[in-house]
């Protein structure tokens, strides 16, 4: 039997609606799955807001506590901060620099219709569907799947149609499949809880292990942003990376096949075996260098040279996004030995790259901006000299203080 108010066949027996009168900012009364908890905070419910983002709408399946925290974000509390976010005709940064086209054997693709320069905004979008991943392990499919169908039908019709038209790869339940195939991971709450963000438009960008665009999600504005990471020429497809940029060839192929069901034949994966092997060797060295540079428990006279080598390896690998961390390492390396100009140079490069990688308001970006403006104000300035002075102090009987400083250094982590 079809329950029209649910949009599914069969209504779960363990659903309930909390006895509350005020459920703002949500526009529909939350529907919940019964739990063993003593209160609502740990209960999984559907929270929907049809007028979110100027009528784009949003539906969230998560715990009551996380939904309350989410509702405090600027996107909900100050809706003017996301005005125009989903406008594809006249977005705030100008006409779209791409056209959506059908590509033979690949479905849709986003093709640049003009030259797009590094750092340019390509797209921004608020999620239409947010789903707490803990639900996969907390409930059986017979309880979970009707919940997310009901959540989908809480969206405005035009947004729901856009959602349901997304590509499906795995088979089985339609909403379950499109979510597994198209979702982007995002963290909400404190401590962080991993959720699926479904963004139907950004999901249309195809994959390349060496992409020309990068996305990041800002939980405060509930918006995912896409920027160019290098110059993209007219007629070139705009591509993002679906996996970890620093995975080896085998790791990339496994992850892509597992989640999206295809063998990657991108610009790096289709190279001759000897080239792919050389790339994997560079990636292994990158990993080793990052581990060494992230160890602040001892003084390393060659730290700056290591950071410069890391930058070179990232350039050779065409990793235009994570190179931000190599610039960061170089800025720290020169700051700790008191080289003001080189610290400033690499801090500036890192700020530019971090803005693309994480956003201008991210704590790491703002931290590097302090060094860019005045390296001597940064916490790493002459850090190793301070460590040497502390070691001398230890020899003179200040062992307790030195131990505390060494412990503090051991907790530093910049990657």
Q: Are residues 217 and 314 in the same domain?
A: no
In-domain check, residue 106: yes
Q: Are residues 304 and 372 in the same domain?
A: yes
Q: pLDDT at position 403, please?
A: 44
In-domain check, residue 263: no
- How far CA 413 is from CA of 40, 289, 290, 399, 408, in Å, comes to 37, 14, 10, 24, 11
Identify the segments of the chain with pLDDT beneath 70: 1-12, 37-38, 384-415
Residue 292 belongs to what domain range? Answer: 273-410
Q: pLDDT at position 169, please?
A: 81
Number of domains composing the chain? 2
Summarised one tens digit per residue, pLDDT across range 357-404 is 999 999 999 999 999 999 999 999 998 666 555 455 545 554 444 445
Summarised one tens digit per residue, pLDDT across range 32-67 is 988 776 677 888 999 999 999 999 999 999 999 999
**326 in Cβ contact with 311 (< 8 Å):** yes
Nearest Cα to Cα of residue 116 among 247, 196, 230: 230
Q: Are residues 351 and 302 in the same domain?
A: yes
Q: pLDDT at position 57, please?
A: 97
Q: Are residues 343 and 227 in the same domain?
A: no
Please report the DSSP string for 368-388 in residue order. HHHHHH-GGGSTTTTHHHHHH
Provide the CATH number for the domain around residue 27: 2.170.270.10
Q: Are residues 71 and 165 in the same domain?
A: yes
pTM of the model: 0.88
Cβ partners under 8 Å of residue 19, min gap 6 = none
Structure tokens at 157: 């019709």
Q: Are residues 204 and 319 in the same domain?
A: no
Nearest Cα to Cα of residue 67 among 25, 35, 34: 25
């Amino acid at each position: 039997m079809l329950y029209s108010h649910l949009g599914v066949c069969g209504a779960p027996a363990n659903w309930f609606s909390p006895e509350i009168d005020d459920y703002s900012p949500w526009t529909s009364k939350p529907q919940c799955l019964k739990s063993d908890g003593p209160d609502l905070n740990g209960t999984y419910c559907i929270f929907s807001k049809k007028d979110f983002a100027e009528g784009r709408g949003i539906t969230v399946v998560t715990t009551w506590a996380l939904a309350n925290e989410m509702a405090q974000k600027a996107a909900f509390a100050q809706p003017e901060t996301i005005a125009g976010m989903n406008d594809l005709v006249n977005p705030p940064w100008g006409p779209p620099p791409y056209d959506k086209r059908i590509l033979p054997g690949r479905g849709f693709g986003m093709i640049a219709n003009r030259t797009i320069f590094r750092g340019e905004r390509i797209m921004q979008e608020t999620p239409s569907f947010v789903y707490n991943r803990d639900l996969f392990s907390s409930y059986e499919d017979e309880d979970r799947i009707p919940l997310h169908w009901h959540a989908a039908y809480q969206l405005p019709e035009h947004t729901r149609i856009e959602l349901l038209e997304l590509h499906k790869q795995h088979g089985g339940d339609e909403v379950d499949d499109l979510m597994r195939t198209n979702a982007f991971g995002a963290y909400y709450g404190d401590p962080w809880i991993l959720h699926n963000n479904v963004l139907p438009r950004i999901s249309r960008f195809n994959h390349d292990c060496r992409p020309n665009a990068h996305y990041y999600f800002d939980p405060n504005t509930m918006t995912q942003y896409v920027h160019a990471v290098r110059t993209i020429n007219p007629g070139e497809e705009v591509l993002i990376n679906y996996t970890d940029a620093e995975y080896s060839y085998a790791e990339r192929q496994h992850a892509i096949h597992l989640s999206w069901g295809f063998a990657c034949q991108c610009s790096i994966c289709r190279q001759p075996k000897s080239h792919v092997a050389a790339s994997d060797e560079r990636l292994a060295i990158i990993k080793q260098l990052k581990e060494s540079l992230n160890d602040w428990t001892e003084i390393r006279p060659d730290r700056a040279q290591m950071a410069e080598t890391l930058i070179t390896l990232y350039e050779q690998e065409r990793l235009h996004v994570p190179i931000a961390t190599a610039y960061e390492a170089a800025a720290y390396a020169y700051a700790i030995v008191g080289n003001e100009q080189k610290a400033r140079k690499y801090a500036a490069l890192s700020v530019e790259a971090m803005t693309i990688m994480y956003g201008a308001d991210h704590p790491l970006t703002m931290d590097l901006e302090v060094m860019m403006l005045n390296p001597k104000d940064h916490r790493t300035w002459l850090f190793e000299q301070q460590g040497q002075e502390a070691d001398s102090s230890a020899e003179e009987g200040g062992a307790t203080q030195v131990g505390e400083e060494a412990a503090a250094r051991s907790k530093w982590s910049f990657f």
